[in-house]
Structure 1
């Protein structure tokens, strides 16, 4: 039952994300952003102990600390959804986080922020691999 609740919570967040992404894209296309471009920072983590619930919970706990960084406009944390297995869908990661920044300068400030540095120092022993996708919203 707890697994279904978590899956539902993640799906609800994904719906909000999709709506926000569309709205952000529309806002960027329809309004003068003063030369600023929205930046989306999506990070995927593979645990050293793949599938380990305790390590996953610790990593999520660590990611939650990043919410203390004021430069982050929005932070969503999730785990792979139980969607259809298809060649183009990657369910191999353990945890992902999705951040929205108003501009590149905010993302740059996040990278060197003491909370971010503390997160990496305290939790990096948990992951084996990290992949980052940074996207500028047109």
Structure 2
């Protein structure tokens, strides 16, 4: 059976609409969480004192009540592969119930104090925010 251009365009449009619908339903799905993963590169990468000060500052964030989970870590000694980026110095992973709670965290005085007290320690920060599905 021959396939014409109109059929292909229609199928692509329906597929795109389905993907948008799936993303929208995931955002409102019960139990969906916001995962906030932050990677820090220190200005002085070899400084254990700077690393420890940053980790202490990150631990203080646990007092913010909207944080459901907080993990803090450093690069693991796993196998070196092209897809693994272990160039960061410290990372933190947080889980929130929703986007509104993540925003409350961003604006919270404890978080703002962390930035003021520890911001001088890092040269680079990358954030990955994810909605669980």
* TM superposition score category, shorter chain reference: 0.7 to 0.9
Using structure 1 for the length normalisation, give the TM-score: 0.74
Q: Does 1:66 align with 2:47?
A: no
> Which residue does the alignment assign to 2:126?
131
Using structure 2 for the length normalisation, give the TM-score: 0.77
CA offsets per residue over residues 52-110 of structure 1, 9 Å max, x none? 11110000000001001000000000000001111100110000000000111100100
* CA RMSD, 1 decimal: 1.3
Q: Does 1:84 align with 2:85?
A: no
> Which residue does the alignment assign to 1:110?
105
1:1-138 superposed matches below 5 A: 33=30, 37-138=32-133
Gaps of 5+ in 1: 1-28
> Which residue does the alignment assign to 2:13?
none
**SS where residue 54 of structure 2 aligns?**
helix
How many residues are matched?
106
Which contiguous aligned blocks of 4+ residues in structure 1 show a shift greater than 6 angstroms?
A: none
CA contact (8 A) 1:37 1:104 kept: no
CA offsets per residue over residues 28-51 of structure 1, 9 Å max, x none? x8xx61xx6310000000000013
CA offsets per residue over residues 7-29 of structure 1, 9 Å max, x none? xxxxxxxxxxxxxxxxxxxxxx8
